Structure 1
Amino acid sequence: MSWTSLPRELKLQIFETIIQDCYGNKRPQRGLASLAAVSIQWQAFFESWTFRELTLGQSDLSAFSDITEGARKVRLRYTRRLWLRVKLNTYDSLVCRLPEDEATIRSNNAIFTGAVWNLLTILSAANGSLHGRGITLELSAYSPSDLHHCYRDFKMADEYPFITKDDLVDQNVFDRYHETRAAEQATHRSHTLDDMKRFRGTEPLSLISVQSGSIQYGVRGAARRLPRVNIVTGLILRRHSYRNISTGALEMLIFQSFIGLEMLRDEQWRPVEHEQQELVRTSYFSNILRGAYTLSRLYVYQDNDRGLNQDNPMTRDIGPGRQLAAKSLSLTELSIGPEIDSTGFLWEFFPALLKKYGYPYFFWPELRYLALSCPDLRATEKGFNQQAIDNVLRAAASAASCMPELMTMELWYGDRWSTALFRYSGKTDPPTVTWRSNWKNSWGFDLIWSKEVKEGWKETATVYLDYTREPDFSIEPLDEVGSQIWDSLGRGVVRHLELKEMVLDPVSLKEVEWEADHGTSLWKETCLPKRNRRASHLRRIRSKKRSVSHAQLLIPLTRATRQRNIALCKEYMSIAYSPTDNKGGSSVQHLCHPDSWFWAPATFPGCETPMDYADSHAAVMASVADLSIVRFDQAWAKDGHVLLRYTAQGSHCGEPYKGIGSTGRRAQWSAAAIFEVEGGKIRSFTKDWDQKTMQIQLGWAPVEESDDPRWNAKALGNPEESRKNKG
């Protein structure tokens, strides 16, 4: 039986079996190109996989043009998502903490412009050929050097495997990958604000003038606009790309090129420089939405880095929200947060303004899903502002009365201490109105539904949204614990939203959830202003405390923090046990607090600090010149403690030891180390060492050879066999 005679259903089963058997749940398009060459039918099927999701750099665009030009542009029908990763100039350690100079900025803008222009030119050739299907384009830019200097986020690496929702099929795979990479990337040198001037302080990338004579796009010197591309229906800028793209560049792309854009997702980080913040704040929504007539879905998630933005904290500004309310009347889905104050979106509907001016001329005829971050939904241990929250919830009810198609509205907020969300859901009759927060579990109080809030939502549901029954109201606790809220800056609340995959791209959402569970902060005490760091340091030195308080050591730590603590202690031991790296106390000083202490009086008399231990060990390694750690038998952390049990080996092949000449004898022994870690540095080190085993094997112990396994060099050299010897 020939291939052509097989039923279509059987062919499809064979194709799917090939994909599953060969590649499992891995990204299959990386190895399917050869299968597409078997026949025309095989080509059509397997190219639908290979072209479904594409990741391209600017160096790939020439080949991409060749395989999609002319009649081959039909391949773009298969493309659902295309990610353009623009590779910028590299830099070295001499400038990694300095802002980019003007020449570098111009060069990077030229690289970015050229890559975007070339891609748009390729895509424009396929205009009108996709028969109603469109491409979602993701844009990002990075320097290969970004991953090797101050801010080492493994999610920037080329080999990061989680790109789309399809890559998230196995939660265990995601967790293991992130736990492993987080432990590998952990550094024990705290970042300072000055460290990040290049990576996070450089102005956002811009599209340079297309009339530039130094870069030729078509007719030299002629006034040109960006190529018009109607097959791009979605544009994404995700949060794991730290190089921002300017509002002006987005404006040009939307107005000049993406004439069929339906969806915009912008997850770029909040700018560091105050001037950039003001530019985004004053012009983003008014400029981006002006003339974007085809846009129906807008998702903006602007997060901040608490270390970088501490000199320019977020201030309440309802202006952007008010602009958004006026410009969003044609949207079907809208999500804004968390560093953008969305209260302004509801401002015209606040009770006092409605009473004075009446209803505004706002009407959202097609808006179905709405998610807004709202700083008024906050509390502290001292309580919350019931009146402010009531005003917001009443304004939300009034605004909902102007949204006849509304299915779900969620207002939410999270900071280091509190998380809360409000949800209206019209998926059932009666609809539901829900309040959830961590307040009850944290402080013992919670919101109370006011009469005005209930009446407002009852009227909206039954009069304006045509439900036959009044809403059901409920108050439920959030199960966020204190450490999760602190580590995620409250962003973990997003996982509890019904509209969470609207608020964040699915991969970004999974990353935020992981950060909430495992910790996010690479910032330590050195992110404080210098005068505060100095004062804190002096207080510790003057107090001369020799131990960490019990309460401090029992603070629950995230898994990522525990892994970083283990990596710190392993780094210390690796240096201490290295004949080449251990130059004495100065070799490990950067890993320890200045007033740290060491305890092992029986085996290391006279050693009072971890630096003293390194000095003593360096002296021993002058004799045991090939000393090394064979393996770490156990390594675990709990709260502020780390335990390492390890096996070491070496031979007396160096200098004489206390008058004993080089014997050449070899030894293997075990030891245990208990560390206390505070603020990313070692506070104390307690050592338990099988000294007798080592010294007898090396011939250093003042004893005679014996058949007793407790004193027999051969038995001590093979402890596993000795423990089985019942004699």
Structure 2
Amino acid sequence: MSPVAMNVATDPMQVGRSSITKDASWAILPVEVRQMILNLVGLPISERRYNSPGSSKVARFAAVCREWQVFFETRTFRRLVLDPDSLNEFHAIVRRDDTRLGYIRKLWLRVQLSKYECPDCDEPEDEATQYCNNRIFTTCIQSLLETLKLWDPARHGTEGLALMLSASSPSDTEHWFNRCEIKDNYPFHYAEDLDLAPGIVDFHRTNIADPFNHHFFRDYPPPLDNGHVKRVQGTPLHLEPQKDERGRFISPYKNLPAVPIVKGLVMRRQFRRNIHVWTLSRLLGRSFVALEWFRFERTISQEPRKQLSFDQGMELSDEANAPLTDFQSHLLPSLPKTLRQLSFTQWEIPKFERWDGLEEVRFEISPYAQAYLPREMATLSQRLEQFCPPWQMDTAAFFRSIIELGESPTMLESSLKRVILRCALSSSDRSRRDFESLVILAAQAAMSLPQLEVMELWGTCLNEQDSRAYIFRYSYKDSRASIVWRSCRGKMVAQTRIIAKWSEVAQKHSHSTLAYNVIPFMETQEEIFESNGTFIYRHVLLKDLVFDPITQIILENEPTEWGLGEGSDSSQQDYVLTSNLVDLNSLDIDLLMHSFGPETDLESLQQELMDLNAEVDALVQQYYG
């Protein structure tokens, strides 16, 4: 790997020295012609293939003259990938000419941790390895921040850059796993790379070995305690104390520099290693002070103690044995005031990567987090413009919190414009009623969101005989409000009530009438089940708010359990919290009464009650005879 690995947006073309002669000086050519020549020398990224040779050689043309330097450095520095070996050189290059900071638009800090061999691949990290990895992480973070703090918006422009942050060991793909997307030669890092040919799906099919190798490494089945999974996920990284000139240890958090050049932060699901909540909260609060958007795709720990440490805080810090703080009390308050967009999703390790044995391994957030997430996410959403909260959150409780906040006289007006929420559904029989109840509750919440442009709800219920999927979308665009209903089986049961409630929202916020449309899914129930529900991703309007575009495609093409066929993270789709199910008995009485207005369709309501009574009678007959 070169000292500074660059994802150059251009490909070189051979330029002979005879192309610029004394008779035809470069300087006498019109500016337009010179730009055409330079653009031919540096072909745009969409016109190259990911296996094109020598794409980084175009950087050498920057030495021809000052004009060429500006042209090619703008493209060379536009996208950078930095690893531990390249950070010092990157710092030296920027120190020589800090104008280059103004060229960077996307920067990936790829922290490469220490390697490990067999049989350590089945064992948790020992203390020595944890310390070594934390030292590598600390050095990388401090070096990058020292370079980025040189940015001056007055000289470099105000656009800033998006930072992608990941940590993994080169050994992670050498033992049980063959995840090509975390290898050094993976070409698809950003949405613009999807234009590369061959495409990302073909690349994955070519670069993933026999799926059975995921479960049989060197002819041995993986350990029943999933030691290989724990090794890849490792221990959450934190900054290690450093020695000063006098040999005394000082806290690495005290002198974290502010780097307002970072406008966006991405932490991708593909990289299993987490950053400790304490360290992440300090980086957000003290360094990424001008952050505008944050895509946080976090992996849930298989070990309940580590997950509880994130949710609640159960360990000790290095600062005077003070308790390490949790997500609720410190990470959320540390989010910069400049933040306008947040996508926070928590992911399980896919089933095909682990060995559940006789008992399925569960990846769950703690009951403590389930209790506070709806209220905290509702409060946070009031100051955001775009928001995707965790899938494990109780969606009904989130809406009720929004309603309560809207009724509070001390709460500032919400700035939320675009929000998308996943609705967990319990069973095929109840899924439609549960989803429609959430849609009605969402309308009540939307009344206190005056800036709302798009609210989207989606959910799937997978059953081999009867799979269901739903999307509801409210949007306001070009002075027109509309709702769209999508499902496998036609119209809504509570159509009249839903239209009436959302018409109130449209009238209150936009003084417009409400357009209504029903668009059934074309996929069959068999196709829905075989895709593990991932088919719905392509139909969601705010998919870019839910997933990083690369993440979405990887999800849709991951192997199913045992590595057979194509599909998605079925464990993530199958994960349903009972606390997220809508029970009419748990809804506020006042809200229910308010839902039955003069425009209520009494016939459909009566039919719903009859259906409900029939279900109750059937259950009684089933269990009591």
Using structure 2 for the length normalisation, give the TM-score: 0.74
- Which of these residues, 347, 364, 387, is aligned with residue 334 of structure 1? 387
What displacement does 1:270 show? 2.0
- Which of these residues, 503, 515, 521, is aligned with residue 472 of structure 1? 515
Name the SS for the 2:557 alignment partner. Answer: helix
- Which of these residues, 182, 186, 196, is aligned with residue 160 of structure 1? 186
Q: Do the aligned partners of residues 358 and 42 (structure 1) sit closer, same or farther apart at CA in structure 2, a change above 3 Å counting?
A: closer
Q: Please give the residue correspondences for 1:294-373 in structure 2 after superposition, counting only pairs within 5 Å.
A: 294-307=338-351, 310-314=360-364, 317-349=370-402, 364-373=413-422
What displacement does 1:142 show? 0.7
- Contact 1:237/1:265, CA 8 A, preserved across alignment: yes
Q: Do the aligned partners of residues 107 and 254 (structure 1) sit closer, same or farther apart at CA in structure 2, a change above 3 Å counting?
A: same
Task: Note the residue ranges of structure 1 that are not aligned, 5 or more in a row.
Answer: 525-556, 561-727
Give 1:512's aligned amino acid: L
Q: Do the aligned partners of residues 466 and 446 (structure 1) sit closer, same or farther apart at CA in structure 2, a change above 3 Å counting?
A: closer
- Contact 1:286/1:324, CA 8 A, preserved across alignment: no
What displacement does 1:398 show? 2.2
Q: Please give the residue correspondences for 1:128-527 in structure 2 after superposition, counting only pairs within 5 Å.
A: 128=153, 129-170=155-196, 172-183=198-209, 186-187=212-213, 189=216, 191=222, 192-200=224-232, 202-208=234-240, 210=241, 212-213=242-243, 221-222=249-250, 224-282=254-312, 283-284=326-327, 286-291=329-334, 292-307=336-351, 310-314=360-364, 317-349=370-402, 364-375=413-424, 378=425, 380-384=427-431, 386=433, 388-414=434-460, 416-417=462-463, 418-438=468-488, 440=489, 447-463=492-508, 465-469=509-513, 471-481=514-524, 485-486=528-529, 489-515=532-558, 519-522=559-562
What displacement does 1:63 show? 0.6
What displacement does 1:218 show? 11
CA–CA separation in structure 1 for the residues paired with 2:184 and 2:498? 50
CA–CA separation in structure 1 for the residues paired with 2:42 and 2:280? 38
1:298-357 CA-to-partner distances (Å, cap 9, x unmatched) read: 11122223536943354782521210111232211111243444443212257xx79xx9
CA–CA separation in structure 1 for the residues paired with 2:78 and 2:55? 8
Give 2:128's aligned amino acid: A
Residue 33 in structure 1 maps to residue 73 in structure 2 = no
Give 1:327's aligned amino acid: L
Q: Do the aligned partners of residues 22 and 476 (structure 1) sit closer, same or farther apart at CA in structure 2, a change above 3 Å counting?
A: closer
1:184-231 CA-to-partner distances (Å, cap 9, x unmatched) read: 5652636555243433453321223x4x43xx5999545532122111
CA–CA separation in structure 1 for the residues paired with 2:484 and 2:44? 46
Q: Do the aligned partners of residues 248 and 161 (structure 1) sit closer, same or farther apart at CA in structure 2, a change above 3 Å counting?
A: same
Q: Relative contact order (alpha carbons < 8 A, sep ≥ 6): 1 or 2 greater?
A: 2
What displacement does 1:520 show? 4.0
- Structure with bigger gyration radius: 1
- Which of these residues, 136, 141, 147, is aligned with residue 116 of structure 1? 141
What displacement does 1:250 show? 1.3
What displacement does 1:389 show? 2.9
- Contact 1:91/1:145, CA 8 A, preserved across alignment: yes
- Contact 1:362/1:402, CA 8 A, preserved across alignment: no
CA–CA separation in structure 2 for the residues paired with 1:305 and 1:481? 28
What displacement does 1:22 show? 11
Task: Note the residue ranges of structure 2 that are not aligned, 5 or more in a row.
Answer: 1-23, 313-325, 569-625
- Contact 1:349/1:399, CA 8 A, preserved across alignment: yes
What displacement does 1:69 show? 0.6
What displacement does 1:113 show? 1.3
Q: Which residue of 2 aligns with 1:87?
A: 112
Identical counterparts, % of pairs: 29
Q: Which residue of 1 aligns with 2:27?
A: 4
CA–CA separation in structure 1 for the residues paired with 2:437 and 2:44? 58
- The alignment covers a number of residue pairs equal to 506
Name the SS for the 1:431 alignment partner. Answer: strand
CA–CA separation in structure 1 for the residues paired with 2:116 and 2:563? 23
CA–CA separation in structure 2 for the residues paired with 1:385 and 1:559? 24
Q: Do the aligned partners of residues 293 and 110 (structure 1) sit closer, same or farther apart at CA in structure 2, a change above 3 Å counting?
A: same
- Contact 1:270/1:302, CA 8 A, preserved across alignment: yes
1:126-156 CA-to-partner distances (Å, cap 9, x unmatched) read: 2444321111111101111100111221111
1:468-495 CA-to-partner distances (Å, cap 9, x unmatched) read: 21x2233332344556545654244222
What displacement does 1:58 show? 0.9
Q: Do the aligned partners of residues 338 and 404 (structure 1) sit closer, same or farther apart at CA in structure 2, a change above 3 Å counting?
A: same
Q: Do the aligned partners of residues 349 and 165 (structure 1) sit closer, same or farther apart at CA in structure 2, a change above 3 Å counting?
A: closer
1:147-191 CA-to-partner distances (Å, cap 9, x unmatched) read: 011122111111011011121015752222111123456526365
What displacement does 1:124 show? 1.1
CA–CA separation in structure 1 for the residues paired with 2:44 and 2:142? 40
Name the SS for the 1:58 alignment partner. Answer: coil
CA–CA separation in structure 1 for the residues paired with 2:426 and 2:235? 35
Give 1:241's aligned amino acid: F
Residue 53 in structure 1 maps to residue 79 in structure 2 = yes
What displacement does 1:3 show? 1.9
1:409-438 CA-to-partner distances (Å, cap 9, x unmatched) read: 111223544432221111245422122234
1:596-645 CA-to-partner distances (Å, cap 9, x unmatched) read: xxxxxxxxxxxxxxxxxxxxxxxxxxxxxxxxxxxxxxxxxxxxxxxxxx
- Contact 1:239/1:508, CA 8 A, preserved across alignment: yes
The RMSD of aligned alpha carbons is 3.1
- Contact 1:338/1:373, CA 8 A, preserved across alignment: yes
- Contact 2:418/2:455, CA 8 A, preserved across alignment: yes
CA–CA separation in structure 1 for the residues paired with 2:168 and 2:550? 19
What displacement does 1:20 show? 2.5
What displacement does 1:522 show? 4.3
Q: Do the aligned partners of residues 23 and 497 (structure 1) sit closer, same or farther apart at CA in structure 2, a change above 3 Å counting?
A: closer
What displacement does 1:246 show? 2.1
Q: Which residue of 1 aligns with 2:620?
A: none
- Contact 1:495/1:513, CA 8 A, preserved across alignment: no
- Contact 1:334/1:369, CA 8 A, preserved across alignment: yes
Q: Do the aligned partners of residues 479 and 287 (structure 1) sit closer, same or farther apart at CA in structure 2, a change above 3 Å counting?
A: farther
Q: Which residue of 2 aligns with 1:655?
A: none
CA–CA separation in structure 2 for the residues paired with 1:246 and 1:222? 19
- Contact 2:75/2:103, CA 8 A, preserved across alignment: yes
- Contact 1:269/1:303, CA 8 A, preserved across alignment: yes
Using structure 1 for the length normalisation, give the TM-score: 0.64
Name the SS for the 1:138 alignment partner. Answer: strand
Q: Do the aligned partners of residues 158 and 392 (structure 1) sit closer, same or farther apart at CA in structure 2, a change above 3 Å counting?
A: same
What displacement does 1:97 show? 0.8
- Which of these residues, 37, 46, 49, is aligned with residue 14 of structure 1? 37
- Contact 1:435/1:476, CA 8 A, preserved across alignment: yes
What displacement does 1:263 show? 1.1
Name the SS for the 2:362 alignment partner. Answer: coil
Name the SS for the 1:203 alignment partner. Answer: coil
